[in-house]
Amino acid sequence: MNPSPSPGHLKPLLWLSIALLALSAATFFIIQNGSTAPPGGHVAPVKTAWLGTVLLCWYVYPALLLADRRLQASRGLLTIFLINMLARALIELAMMYAWHSWHPWYGISHDLFSLLLCLILGAKTPAATSLLRTYFLAMAFLFAVESFFAWYMMTHISSEQGPVFYVPSDPAHFTLLLSTGVIVGITWLFLAWFTRRWLYLPQPA
């Protein structure tokens, strides 16, 4: 069996993933706002940034962390988290674009479940991989934020053209969009700190 990638190999994979996500987010923004009645409604630039950021946090980071052989003691915890998120992606995408049955309450329910799961995973993180405890706690915070965003969308945004999945660029939502931008900035500061610590973790004795 080939050994898991070392941090030296994971770093370019991370940067490549960030670049691809940025390109995908820009493409999504252009397509979503390029028609008068897109599925899910128009989306604000800062909400696109939020979507790209949580995709990075919830899918790319756990996948790369799982590939780091130094975190062997926590592979089971990372696997549980990643399976939870992959199941969410498959089910929600089908509900939104195939079955047309998605409702914000589904998102809120999974957000709260995932928040609790992250707290449990953080508590179960071995001392040998204690940096992951910080990651799980940060993800719990993001799920709390995402649940609030889903509630806001459910109670403040509607459209006669169909279900709404995103917050548009509208002065009526200025406070929410500003808050979203601040949280995105804070999240990227955390990711910069976490990545620096993670990629230079000492090898276990």
What DSSP assignment string belongs to 93-140?
HHHHHTS----HHHHHHHHHHHHHHHHHHHHH--GGGTHHHHHHHHHH
pLDDT of residue 33: 94
pLDDT tens per residue, range 144-157? 999 999 999 999 98
Q: Is the pLDDT of residue 5 over 70?
A: no
Q: Is the pLDDT of residue 4 over 60?
A: no
Residue 87 makes CB contacts below 8 A (sequence gap 6+) with none
- Reported confidence tier of residue 39, pLDDT bands at 50, 70, 90: confident
pTM of the entire predicted model: 0.91
- Reported confidence tier of residue 1, pLDDT bands at 50, 70, 90: very low
